[in-house]
């Protein structure tokens, strides 16, 4: 380490060089030419990009090696401190600034010596610490060279209860003022972590750095007013002398976890206060522990981890408004620099070249959680120019990177994403996804006839009364024993209330049943071809069930027609002729609702899809009776899914979902039967993604059924739109 005298000579040498360089004239570059290869250290007179403008205007020099407020940091283990084999019972952390007195260096720091490592606020006691700085006192050590230290003993012990700091006194810093010494420190009156890391700042003074220290036993820097950024904690008090006053910088944790760490400034004319907080606080938006030093006429700050401007060195000409002056690496945590002019009220701060800092969780094993002190060296000095401190970057061993490994959860998220990408790419790459396209030539095949209401009475409908207009909704197509096509679906007499939405689903307690005369679907595609048969499964025929009988879907199994219908509980009924139905009771229900069930039989398994809140769910069964646990196969933020259909075609799966997005002017009933049907594609029937991730097209239909005629022609139906009743359109796969 250079002696003080050599440092002066060395500085003088570099000073001469600096003056020579800076007197070079401004480089007038030919704007037509590219930016010069020989890097101009002075701002060239040519149009510059924002980055180049900033490089010349924002930093003290255009290159880091010439930037006096840029440095690399070098670390040295200290000799002289015992940590009980680093078992976590002894911790030393948050060192103060180093001062030189009586021919040696002094440093103060937080020392915890407890029977165990920190156990968290919930498990702490009068002897078991909550945090690494709980149940601590302020100790000090001296050194002749700054590398080998002698621990001298306690400087400020915890005062007796209820004095400020009775639980722990920590994170101290030194001020020398008019020949007296002052130690500011955090005074805990509860275990750190009880509510948060809450504490104000207290102070003790002495006539000698070796003490004895007299506690002021009063709070000198109080927490901020309720609601203020520093309402709960004043941390890392850091006094410097400027303009004949004490400028004390401090940190506070605001905004709750994850905390936002920022720095404030409090100014006083006397070490015991009163301290007035600066109206512009916070004055530094980032950082963690405070480390600052006078530099030229202003003050520089090491802004370490946390915040947008972490890992920067900043400078405030007016000691209040800080600007970023360099971006650096491996900054000292809780750095306490040796600053010869910290308290000299200097107008030309010379800067720093070394100090003491700490490393928390020093062994990397939280079971031995404790901190150690270390020495850092740097070149942030006007009097030193050490090119070896001005390298542009540090080479980290691969361990450093691979130690920052992914958590299991992160790895799962990424694997899920790559599976989806693979899925998509496979499906994209291997097979052309056929997209359903409709002819938009709906044929109105079923126009409901008038009928007597099956009851029971509702607010506006009378059982046994004749009603001309009936409003069908979700329905299903099925062929009977003789091959005739039938349509069975929700219905109820038209109820036009003011507002309309009130009666829109009133009395939907049974299904309409319409039949064709033809046995080939194509032949049934005629206007009003289907004629009504008696309504199916009114409440009388299914005693004990909820009145609602919604969205039936029918498949044939073992010679019997099986109908599933809703809403929750989803129920089953069987029939041999599609007219006489025997209720078979509940299949399953969902607390947040289950509506519009639809079945797909594929590969020996029945899949039932149905809607719930903002999603489509699926269950599987081998026998239509016992159903698996629900799986959410599609979720949507933008609309309420309705009337889902799962289709297996061309070796892949499609999900058709009609939608309700609340956008209805309430002027006429049909408006409530929105007819945008979204179509999604996936190889995996359990994963149709979120929103439009797997969407391939939209079709115009309300409560669509998608099915094939005898000749393989695909059809899509729609109800209430475009006509009251059921209409069918042709569907092609392109």
Nearer to ligand AAL by C-beta: 289 or 377?
A: 289
Tokens 């699926």, residue located: 618
Which one of 68, 94, 474, 508 is in contact with ligand AAL (CB under 6 A)? 94
Nearer to ligand AAL by C-beta: 95 or 351?
A: 95
Q: Residue 351 Cβ, how far from ligand AAL at the closest point, in Å?
A: 24
Q: Residue 335 Cβ, how far from ligand AAL at the closest point, in Å?
A: 12
Q: Does 642 bind ligand AAL (CB under 6 A)?
A: no
Nearer to ligand AAL by C-beta: 110 or 674?
A: 110
Q: Does 185 bind ligand AAL (CB under 6 A)?
A: no
DSSP class of residue 562 equals: E
Q: Does 375 bind ligand AAL (CB under 6 A)?
A: no
Which one of 59, 105, 133, 149 is in contact with ligand AAL (CB under 6 A)? 133
Nearest of 168, 148, 146 to residue 156 by alpha carbon? 168
* Sign of the CA dihedral running 235, 237, 242, 244: positive
Q: Residue 94 Cβ, how far from ligand AAL at the closest point, in Å?
A: 5
DSSP class of residue 425 equals: H
Nearer to ligand AAL by C-beta: 314 or 636?
A: 314
Q: How far is CA 668 from CA 492, 664, 671, in A?
A: 16, 9, 6
- Residues in the chain, how many? 734
Nearest of 534, 554, 521 to residue 728 by alpha carbon? 521
Which one of 251, 325, 486, 675 is in contact with ligand AAL (CB under 6 A)? 251
Q: Does 134 bind ligand AAL (CB under 6 A)?
A: no
Element (H, E) at 493: none
Nearer to ligand AAL by C-beta: 253 or 379?
A: 253
Q: Residue 170 Cβ, how far from ligand AAL at the closest point, in Å?
A: 5
Q: Residue 99 Cβ, how far from ligand AAL at the closest point, in Å?
A: 20
Nearest of 510, 548, 672, 694 to residue 616 by alpha carbon? 694
Rounded to the nearest 5 degrees, what angle is found at the Cα of 481, between the Cα atoms of 475 and 486? 20
Nearest of 109, 105, 102 to residue 81 by alpha carbon? 109
Q: Does 197 bind ligand AAL (CB under 6 A)?
A: yes
Nearer to ligand AAL by C-beta: 289 or 642?
A: 289
Cβ atoms within 10 Å of 29's Cβ, excluding its own? 15
Contact set for ligand AAL, span 135-174 (CB under 6 A):
170-171
What is the spatial distance between Cα 133 and Cα 165, in angstroms, rounded to a whole number? 12
Q: Residue 289 Cβ, how far from ligand AAL at the closest point, in Å?
A: 5
Q: Residue 222 Cβ, how far from ligand AAL at the closest point, in Å?
A: 16
Nearer to ligand AAL by C-beta: 182 or 238?
A: 238
Which one of 68, 137, 198, 289 is in contact with ligand AAL (CB under 6 A)? 289
Is residue 464 within 8 Å of 548, Cβ to Cβ? Answer: no
Instruction: Retrieve residue 538's tokens.
Output: 């009114």
Q: Does 545 bind ligand AAL (CB under 6 A)?
A: no
Q: Does 369 bind ligand AAL (CB under 6 A)?
A: no
What is the spatial distance between Cα 724 and Cα 722, in angstroms, rounded to a whole number? 7
What is the spatial distance between Cα 158 and Cα 160, in angstroms, rounded to a whole number? 7
Q: Residue 186 Cβ, how far from ligand AAL at the closest point, in Å?
A: 6
Nearer to ligand AAL by C-beta: 366 or 452?
A: 366
Q: Residue 91 Cβ, how far from ligand AAL at the closest point, in Å?
A: 11
Q: Does 230 bind ligand AAL (CB under 6 A)?
A: no
Q: Residue 358 Cβ, how far from ligand AAL at the closest point, in Å?
A: 9
Q: Residue 188 Cβ, how far from ligand AAL at the closest point, in Å?
A: 8
Size of the site for ligand AAL (CB under 6 A): 12
Which one of 68, 134, 137, 236 is in contact with ligand AAL (CB under 6 A)? 236
Residue closest to ligand AAL, measured at CB: 171
Helices and strands (H, E) in the chain, number of each type = 4, 44
CA torsion 701-707-713-719 (nearest 10°) is -30
Element (H, E) at 22: helix 4-22
Element (H, E) at 414: helix 408-430
Q: Residue 264 Cβ, how far from ligand AAL at the closest point, in Å?
A: 13
Contacts by 55-58 with C-beta closer than 8 Å and gap 24+?
58/323, 58/324, 58/325
Nearer to ligand AAL by C-beta: 94 or 705?
A: 94
**Which residues lie closer than 8 Å to 517 by C-beta, 6 or more apart?**
484, 524, 529
Tokens 């939280």, residue located: 366
Q: Does 97 bind ligand AAL (CB under 6 A)?
A: no
Give the x-and-dash track for 304-343 against ligand AAL (CB under 6 A). ------------------------------x---------
Q: If you write DSSP's letter for every residue of 213-262 in order, what string do you get?
A: PEE--S-SBPPPPTTSTTSSB-EEEEEEEETTEEEEEEEEEESSSSPEEE
What is the spatial distance between Cα 200 and Cα 692, in angstroms, rounded to a whole number? 53
Torsions phi, psi for 695 (to 5 deg): -75, 135
Nearer to ligand AAL by C-beta: 154 or 547?
A: 154
What is the spatial distance between Cα 470 and Cα 323, in angstroms, rounded to a whole number? 74
Contact set for ligand AAL, span 5-64 (CB under 6 A):
none
Nearer to ligand AAL by C-beta: 235 or 529?
A: 235
Nearer to ligand AAL by C-beta: 309 or 684?
A: 309
Q: Does 235 bind ligand AAL (CB under 6 A)?
A: yes
Q: Residue 253 Cβ, how far from ligand AAL at the closest point, in Å?
A: 8
* Binding interface with ligand AAL (CB under 6 A): 94, 133, 170-171, 186, 197, 235-236, 251, 288-289, 334
């Amino acid at each position: 380490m250079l002696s003080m005298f050599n440092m002066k000579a060395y500085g003088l040498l570099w000073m001469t060089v600096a003056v020579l360089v800076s007197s070079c004239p401004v480089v007038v570059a030919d704007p037509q030419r590219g930016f010069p290869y020989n890097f101009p250290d002075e701002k060239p007179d040519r149009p510059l990009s924002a980055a180049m403008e900033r490089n010349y205007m924002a930093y003290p020099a255009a290159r880091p090696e010439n930037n006096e407020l840029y440095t690399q940091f070098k670390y040295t283990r200290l000799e002289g401190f015992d940590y009980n084999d680093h078992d976590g019972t002894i911790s030393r952390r948050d060192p103060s600034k180093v001062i030189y007195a009586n021919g040696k260096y002094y440093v103060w720091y937080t020392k915890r010596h407890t029977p165990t490592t920190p156990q968290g606020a919930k498990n702490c006691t009068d002897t078991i610490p909550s945090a690494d700085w709980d149940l601590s006192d302020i100790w000090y050590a001296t050194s002749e060279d700054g590398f080998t230290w002698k621990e001298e003993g306690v400087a400020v012990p915890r005062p007796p209860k209820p004095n400020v700091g009775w639980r722990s006194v920590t994170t101290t810093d030194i001020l020398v003022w008019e020949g007296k010494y002052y130690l500011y420190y955090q005074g805990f009156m509860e275990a750190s972590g009880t509510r948060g890391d809450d504490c104000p700042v207290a102070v003790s003074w002495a006539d000698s750095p070796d003490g004895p220290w007299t506690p002021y036993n009063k709070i000198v820097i109080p927490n901020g007013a309720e609601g203020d950024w520093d309402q709960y904690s004043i941390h890392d008090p850091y006094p410097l002398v400027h303009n004949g006053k004490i400028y004390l910088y401090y940190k506070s944790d605001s905004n709750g976890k994850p905390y936002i760490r920022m720095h404030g400034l409090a100014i006083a004319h006397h070490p015991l206060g009163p301290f007035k907080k600066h109206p512009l606080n916070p004055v530094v938006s980032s950082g963690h522990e405070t480390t600052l030093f006078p530099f030229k006429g202003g003050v520089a700050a090491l802004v370490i981890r946390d915040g947008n401007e972490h890992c920067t060195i900043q400078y405030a000409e007016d000691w209040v408004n800080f600007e970023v002056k360099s971006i650096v690496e491996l900054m000292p945590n809780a750095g306490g620099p040796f600053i010869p002019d910290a308290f000299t009220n200097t107008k030309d701060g010379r800067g720093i070249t070394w100090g003491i800092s700490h490393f928390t969780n020093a062994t990397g094993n939280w079971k031995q959680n404790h901190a150690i002190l270390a020495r850092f060296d740097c070149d942030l000095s006007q009097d030193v120019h050490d090119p070896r401190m001005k390298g542009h970057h540090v080479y980290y061993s691969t361990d450093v990177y691979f130690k920052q490994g992914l958590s299991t959860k992160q790895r799962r998220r990424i694997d899920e994403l790559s599976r989806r990408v693979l899925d998509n790419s496979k499906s994209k790459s291997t097979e052309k996804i056929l997209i359903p396209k409709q002819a938009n030539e709906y044929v109105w095949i079923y126009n409901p006839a008038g009928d007597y209401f099956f009851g029971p009475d509702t607010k506006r409908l009378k059982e046994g009364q004749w009603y001309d207009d009936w409003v069908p909704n979700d329905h299903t197509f099925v062929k009977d024993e003789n091959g005739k096509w039938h349509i069975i679906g929700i219905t109820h007499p038209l109820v036009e209330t003011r507002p309309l939405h009130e009666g829109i689903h009133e009395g939907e307690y049974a299904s309409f049943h319409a039949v064709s005369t033809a046995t080939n679907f194509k032949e049934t595609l005629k206007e009003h071809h289907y004629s009504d048969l008696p309504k199916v499964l009114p409440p009388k025929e299914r005693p004990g069930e909820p009145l609602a009988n919604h969205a039936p879907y029918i498949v044939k199994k073992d010679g019997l027609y099986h109908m599933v219908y809703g809403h929750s509980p989803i129920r089953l009924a069987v029939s041999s002729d599609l007219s006489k139905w025997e209720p078979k009771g509940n299949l399953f229900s969902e607390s947040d609702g289950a509506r519009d069930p639809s079945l797909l039989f594929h590969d020996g398994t029945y899949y039932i899809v149905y809607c719930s809140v903002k999603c489509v769910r699926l269950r599987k069964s081998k026998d239509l009776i016992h159903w698996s646990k629900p799986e959410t196969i599609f979720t949507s933020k933008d609309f309420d899914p309705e009337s889902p259909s799962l289709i297996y075609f061309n070796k892949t799966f499609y999900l058709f979902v009609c939608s309700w997005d609340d956008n209805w002017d309430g002027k006429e009933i049909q408006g409530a039967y929105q007819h945008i049907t979204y179509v999604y594609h996936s190889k995996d029937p359990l994963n149709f993604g979120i929103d439009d991730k797997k969407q391939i097209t939209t079709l115009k239909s309300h409560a669509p059924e998608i099915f094939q005629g005898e000749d393989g022609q695909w059809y899509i139906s729609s109800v209430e739109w475009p006509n009251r009743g059921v209409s069918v359109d042709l569907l092609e796969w392109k």
